[in-house]
A and B are shown apart, each in its own frame.
Chain A
């Protein structure tokens, strides 16, 4: 009886800690998935799968960094799988340039610029997109991105540089 009660308590503690992890990490996972995939529905699917995997495997990590790295790696891999499954790539429509009207609010202009950047991001190859999302948006170091993506640091540096060059090309082409 006592044993059963203790087991129930232990299970409840595990459940509570798992819920805490979900609360802490869901924003990060959802945001990364959204930036790579470009839509919230797919990002939600990926986030669910990430947390379910964590729950199933009952993994324990020595450090928070190791846990973060695992979480990013699973997220990126699931996103890349999803982009591979997509038979047709969503057509990239770059929104119009923000108006130069000085009276327009700066935040609106900024939002439009971000939308354009997101649309341009969608035109990049999946691995380059993932590299630039992790490096520039999530603010991880090159070494961390290399570990997450399972490639060399030099490769990550090259992917990020290429991605930025492509983005500049796409955005300048649209601006003309």
Chain B
């Protein structure tokens, strides 16, 4: 088959009729689907969704703003009370002043006195010489 023959056959195919039952099936299916409420709404939605969105977005923003503002208004303002003037009545009897609390004095533990040395107790003589300076005492221990 030559190229021209192929092209000629294609040209003939152009005019071939489409089976009528195929056409009818397509028509019916399209009609059925376009009649459903979803398909009815869809074209309108597809055409107008931009406008709907353009209207809804500012409306929502406004709603949010109003809602937050109302919340602010709903919070009761802090009540400022007038300064209370206390009427202080003089006491009928002047109570005796309480004794001041005793000062807590920390007791410093004294060291236990050391027992005298054994050296002294073994019959050793102890001579105590006191100097004019009261802080200086000379002790002489003899055997």
How far is it, in angstroms, between the C-alpha of A44 and the C-alpha of B2 when the chains are bound?
A: 32
The interface stretch among A54-62, A64-72, A76-84, A146-154 is A54-62
Q: Nearest chain A CB to B11's CB is how many angstroms away?
A: 7
* Residue from the list A19, A47, A58, A137 in contact with B10, Cβ < 8 A: A137
Chain B, residue nearest A35 (CB): B13
Interface size on A, as a range, is 35 or more
Using A52-B30, A52-B33 as known contacts, say yes or no to A27 and B14 having CB atoms under 8 A apart: no
Residues B18 and A58 in contact, CB atoms below 8 Å apart:
no
Interface residues as binary, A73-117 with B (CB distance below 8 Å gives 1, 0 otherwise): 000000000000000000000000000000000000010011001
How far is it, in angstroms, between the C-alpha of A18 and the C-alpha of B43 when the chains are bound?
A: 12
Secondary structure of the B contact surface, majority rule: helix
Chain A, residue nearest B33 (CB): A52
B53 within 8 A of A: no
Neighbouring A residues of B12 by C-beta, 8 Å: 110, 114
Chain B, residue nearest A167 (CB): B6
Neighbouring A residues of B7 by C-beta, 8 Å: 136, 164
Neighbouring B residues of A51 by C-beta, 8 Å: 26, 30
How far is it, in angstroms, between the C-alpha of A15 and the C-alpha of B42 when the chains are bound?
A: 14
B39 within 8 A of A: yes
Q: Nearest chain A CB to B135's CB is how many angstroms away?
A: 117
Q: Nearest chain B CB to A89's CB is how many angstroms away?
A: 21
Using A55-B43, A164-B6 as known contacts, say yes or no to A31 and B29 having CB atoms under 8 A apart: no
Neighbouring B residues of A30 by C-beta, 8 Å: 18, 22-23, 26
Residues A55 and B26 in contact, CB atoms below 8 Å apart:
no
* Chain B: interface residue total (CB-CB under 8 A): 31
Residues B11 and A52 in contact, CB atoms below 8 Å apart:
no
B96 within 8 A of A: no
Residues A44 and B26 in contact, CB atoms below 8 Å apart:
yes
Q: Nearest chain B CB to A135's CB is how many angstroms away?
A: 9
Neighbouring A residues of B3 by C-beta, 8 Å: 164, 168
Within 8 A of A (CB), among B7-36: 7, 9-14, 16-19, 22-23, 25-27, 29-31, 33-34
Q: Nearest chain A CB to B112's CB is how many angstroms away?
A: 106
Secondary structure of the A contact surface, majority rule: helix
A130 within 8 A of B: no
Residues B11 and A48 in contact, CB atoms below 8 Å apart:
no
Neighbouring B residues of A15 by C-beta, 8 Å: 34
Q: Nearest chain A CB to B24's CB is how many angstroms away?
A: 10
Residues A58 and B46 in contact, CB atoms below 8 Å apart:
yes
Residues A57 and B46 in contact, CB atoms below 8 Å apart:
yes
B1 within 8 A of A: yes
How far is it, in angstroms, between the C-alpha of A4 and the C-alpha of B72 when the chains are bound?
A: 44
Q: Nearest chain B CB to A57's CB is how many angstroms away?
A: 5
The 4 A-B residue pairs with the shortest CB-CB distance, nearest first, are A136-B10, A58-B43, A51-B30, A171-B1
Residues of B within 8 A of A (CB): 1-3, 6-7, 9-14, 16-19, 22-23, 25-27, 29-31, 33-34, 39, 42-44, 46-47
